[in-house]
Amino acid sequence: MGFSSARLVMSSFTGIHNLGLATSAVAIGILAGAVCSGVGSYPETVASIAICVGAAILALADSALLIPYVTLTWVGCPELRRAIDWYTGQYHNVSPLSVVPQLCLVMTMVPALLRRSTGVPSHPFRKPIAIVLISIAYALIIGTLRNHLSAGYELLNVAGPLALFPYARNRARRYGALWIDSLAWIAFGVAVYGCYQYMVAPPWDTFWMVHSGMDSIGYPSPGKIRVFSTINSPEPCAMFLTLSLLAMLYHSRANGPMRIAGAITVAACLALTLDRTAWLTLVIALLLVGCFTSGSRRARVYVTAAVIVVLAFYLAPYMPGIREIVGRIDTFSSIQSDISYQARLQFYRSEILTIIRQPAGLGLGAAGVATKLSSGSSGALLNFDSGILDILLEFGIILGPAFLVGQLKLLRDLHRRAKQECTQKSFVPIALAAMLSIDASLLSANNLEGIVGYCAWLLVAVAADEVESRSSVSCVNTFAVKHRKHGLI
C-alpha cells in the first residue's frame, strides 16, 4: 500500500517539487536565523546575501550559467569564509557562508516551479527517485524530532542535489557540455590554488588551520600542508578533483596539449591532498569508464591517462612534496600497520554496535558537520569515517539500504535505457563510472552529500536528460516511419 502511494506521488515530479520547496524554506530559514542570531561576521553575512541574490537573478533569468555559478559557490565559499575570518582577526566556528552553496543549489528549483502551471510530465526514472525520496523523508522526520536544526542542514546536503533532475530536464541536452566543461576547468583553478597553497601557505589558510583544531591537515607552514585548496578539507577536495579529472579526461573539448596540461595540474594537486581513498576512487572510475564505453572515447581516456602517468614518472623528482606522496603510497603495502586504518577498523566495530542498538536510525543530522548546529543531538559524531555506517545510522537498517538500492536502481535503469541510444559522445558512461566509484568510496566517507554528491548527481542528471532526449527522438522517428508506410504522412 505504501509503495503504491509512493508511485502515485511520484507519477510526476511532484515529490521533488515539494521537497525542493521544503529544502528552499529550510535553507532560507537557516540563513535568516544565522543573520538574526549574529552567527559569523558582518562581512560574511553581506557576502552570503549577495551571492544568493546572484543565484536568484540567474535562476529567474533561466540562465545556462546557473550551474557553473553554483559550482563556484561550492568551491569558493569556504575560502571566502577563511579570508574574511583572517581579515577580521576572528575565527567563527559556524558561518552563514556554510549554507550558501546549498541555498544556491535549490535555486535551480525556481525555473521548474515557475513552469509548473503548464504541467510537468512524468519522469522516466520516477520509481528509483521515489525510493530515494521516501528514505530521505523518513530520515528527516526522525532527525527533526531528535536533532532539530542540524537535520535541516543535513537535508540541504542530502536532498539538495536531487533538485538537479527537474532543472536538468530539457536543459542538459543543450547545456550539458557547458556544465561538464565548467566543472573540469573550475577544478583546474582549484588545483592551481592548491599547489600555491602547498608552496606558500597563505596567511588566511594557516589562520584557519590553527583555529579550526583539525589535526589531519598537516602543519601551517610551506611544504607541510595537506592540501585542501579552496574547499573545506583535504577529503572533499580530493574527491572533487577526482570527479573533475574524470570529466576532463573523458569529455573536455579542449585540444590535446591543453587537456593534458590541465589534467596534470589537477592530478598533481590530487596527489598533494594525500587522500588514498580518492586515489583508489579515481582508479576504479577509470576502469568503469572502460567497461561502459568503447572505441575512440575509451582510447582517448586511457591514452591521456597513460601520458599523464609517464610525465608524472619523469617529473616526480622535481615535484614539491614528492617524499610525502611516496610515503603515503607506501602505506598500501603495509596497510595492517597503518594507524589510520586501524583507527577506522576500531571505529567500525564501535559504530556497528550503535546501529544495532538503534535500528530505526537517528535521523538526518545525527553525524557529521551538521552536528555543530545541535550540540544536544542524540548520538552526535562530528567526524564520521564511514559513509555506509553514516547512512545506516541516519536512515536506519531498513531505509538505509533502501536509499542505496534506489540510487543503484536509478543507475541500472539509466544503463539499460542508454544501451540502445548511446553514442560515442554520451555522458552516460562517465555518470555511471562517477556514481559507482563514489559508492565504492562509501567505505571511507559519505560522499553522496556535499560538494562531491553535487558533482556526482550533476553528471547523472545530465546523462538522464540525454537518454530521455534520445529516446524521444527515437520514438518520433519510429512513429514517422510507421505512418509513412501507411501513407499517413
pLDDT attached to residue 87: 92
Q: Is the pLDDT of residue 484 over 70?
A: no
Number of domains present in the structure of the chain: 1
Kindly tell me if the per-residue pLDDT of 481 is higher than 50: no
The whole-number average pLDDT for the span 432-441 is: 94
Q: Please state, in angstroms and rounded to a whole number, the distance separating the CA atoms of residues 382 and 410.
A: 30
For residue 424, pLDDT beyond 90: no
CA dihedral 430, 435, 441, 445 (to 10 degrees): 130
Question: 49 vs 481, which has greater pLDDT?
Answer: 49
Q: What are the pLDDT digits (tens) for 115-151?
A: 654 444 456 788 898 899 999 999 999 999 988 888 8
pLDDT band at 387 (very low <50, low <70, confident <90, very high): confident
Question: Could you tell me the three cell numbers for 12?
Answer: 510526476
Q: Yes or no: say if 364 and 138 are a contact pair by the CB < 8 Å rule.
A: no
Per-residue pLDDT tens digits for 230-284: 998 999 999 999 999 998 888 766 566 777 888 889 999 999 998 888 999 999 9
Q: What is the pLDDT of residue 12?
A: 41
- Nine cell digits for residue 154: 543535513
- With a cut of 90, say whether residue 77 has pLDDT above it: yes
DSSP secondary structure string, 392-458? HHHHHHHHHHHHHHHHHHHHHHHHHHHHHH--TT-SHHHHHHHHHHHHHGGGTS-TTSHHHHHHHHH
Predicted confidence (pLDDT) per residue in 309-349, tens digit = 787 777 777 677 777 777 777 776 666 666 777 777 787 88
Predicted local distance difference test score (pLDDT) of residue 141: 93
- Nearest Cα neighbor of 11 from 127, 97, 162 is 127
The whole-number average pLDDT for the span 389-408 is: 92
Range of the domain at 294: 2-485
Which of 343-347, 366-370, 382-386, 406-410 is predicted most confidently? 406-410
For the segment 13-34, the average pLDDT, to the nearest whole number, is 55
Note whether 209 and 249 are within 8 A (CB). Answer: no
Give yes or no for a contact between 172 and 461, defined as CB atoms under 8 angstroms apart: yes
Residue 192 has phi, psi (to 5 degrees) of -60, -45
Least confident segment among 268-277, 286-295, 402-411: 286-295
Rounded distance between C-alpha atoms, residue 255 and residue 441, angstroms: 31
Residue 431: band (very low, low, confident or very high) from pLDDT cuts 50, 70, 90 = very high
d(CA 198, CA 270): 12
Residue pair 170/200 in contact (Cβ under 8 Å)? The answer is no
Burial class, 36, CB count within 10 angstroms (exposed 0-12 / middle 13-18 / buried 19+): exposed
Return the higher-pLDDT residue of 18 and 223. Answer: 223
